Amino acid sequence: MLAVLGIMAVVWGLGRALRLPGGVIWLLIGVIYIAVLIVQLVFPAAHPLRMATGDGPEGWLILGGAVVLVGLYIQGLGWLKRRAVPVDETRTEAQGPFAPGELNRYARHVVLRELGGPGQKKLKQSKALVIGAGGLGSPVLLYLAAAGVGRIGVIDDDVVEASNLQRQVVHTDGRTGMPKVQSAMQAMEALNPYVEVRPYQRRLTAEIAGALIAEYDLVIDGTDNFETRYLANRVCVEQEKPLISGAIAQWEGQVSIFDPAHGGPCYQCIFPEAPAPELAPSCAEAGVVSPLPGVVGSMMALEAVKLVTGAGETLRGQMMIFDGLHGESRKMRLKPRADCPVCAGRGAKG
């Protein structure tokens, strides 16, 4: 019997080497099997050929039955695979808010008691507008995308320059000359293809601010000029949207949430008038240490995550000041100003 099995193995090996179709190889092996089975069933027990091919037909019948069962099993698996409907990961509406496998990337969020699945779902359903794709906007955009914020808008009219790359980590040297919003979109989509990025390659103006901010749940201001800050603040107060604001200079930065609709002050309560240019020089004039925007921008993204999910205590009505040169941080309470021209008389909603 072993000799016959060896012959079958040789036939299989030669067939594969000659690249014969699988059906032809199995046909040749089947012919050998049937010939041996006929010998075992027809020839006398003492016949030399029967003795050379086995002690009886029982072993060959068992072997044949096992091969048939294995073949039927393989055919059944193939039939099931052909009938299976392939999963389209781009269709998430019928399967809930998350695409198949998407939750795996947020596993470290899901295990957090303060976030969990419900918190991640809130992030997925949230919409955040980031004003500025520069030093502060870079870490904000990357971390909002990584955290799974469902829709992220970014507005900026500038292009990537070599001098930006010392601190604006969302951009790369290869994207120098590209509009910042397009460069940022490429980075965010590469990091998390499940988020929707909406780039607006223009400056935030009074003509578009109201309609644009109305499309989002919260606004994150990472700009470096008071004109845009006052505009964003005014529209957010009118629409009762929280405004996360950050600023940096040299070695220091600050973060706060301005939300008069929930009892806090607005930006103009704290900064009634823009300071003289010499008192608030730009980063180009005064300089800024490379990691500082990352620290402050990450704080802003963290406040956004807490604001959306309701986790912990936010900086609503408080300001965090970070001193990178001396490794110190402090918080101060902020109160609404009764004579504020923007938010005075707007009652808190709790």
- Predicted local confidence at residue 55, as pLDDT: 66
The predicted structure's pLDDT at residue 32: 76
Question: Residue 85: its pLDDT value, please?
Answer: 44
Pick the CATH number of 104-333 from 1.10.1740.10, 3.40.50.720, 2.40.30.70, 3.40.50.300: 3.40.50.720
339-340-345 Cα angle (round to 5): 80
* Extents of the domains making up the chain: 2-83, 104-333
Residue 117, CA distances (Å) to 114, 120, 121 in order: 10, 5, 6
Give the list of residues 6+ apart from residue 236 with CB closer than 8 angstroms, or none: 213, 219, 242, 243, 258, 266
In this structure, the strands spanning 196-200 and 328-333 are unpaired
Per-residue tokens: 214: 């109305």
Whole-model pTM: value is 0.71
Pairing mode of beta strands 243-249, 252-258: antiparallel
256: which strand partners? 245, 319
What confidence tens digit (pLDDT) does each residue in 21-47 have? 767 777 777 777 787 777 767 777 677
User: Considering only CA atoms, which of 255, 223, 217 is closest in space to residue 236?
Assistant: 217
* Region label for 50, one of left (φ > 0), alpha (ψ between -120 and 50) or beta (otherwise): alpha
DSSP for 10-68, written as a single string: HHHHHHHHTT--HHHHHHHHHHHHHHHHHHHHHS-TT-HHHHHT-S-HHHHHHHHHHHH
Full pLDDT tens readout for the chain, 350 residues: 667 677 777 766 776 777 777 677 777 777 777 877 777 677 776 777 666 766 676 676 777 777 778 777 777 776 666 555 444 444 333 345 788 878 889 999 999 999 999 999 999 999 999 999 999 999 999 999 999 999 999 999 999 999 999 999 999 999 999 999 999 999 999 999 999 999 999 999 999 999 999 999 999 999 988 999 999 999 999 999 999 999 999 999 999 999 999 989 999 999 998 877 666 666 777 789 999 999 999 999 999 999 999 999 999 999 999 999 999 999 999 999 999 999 987 655 54
Residues 264, 343: Cα–Cα separation, whole Å: 10
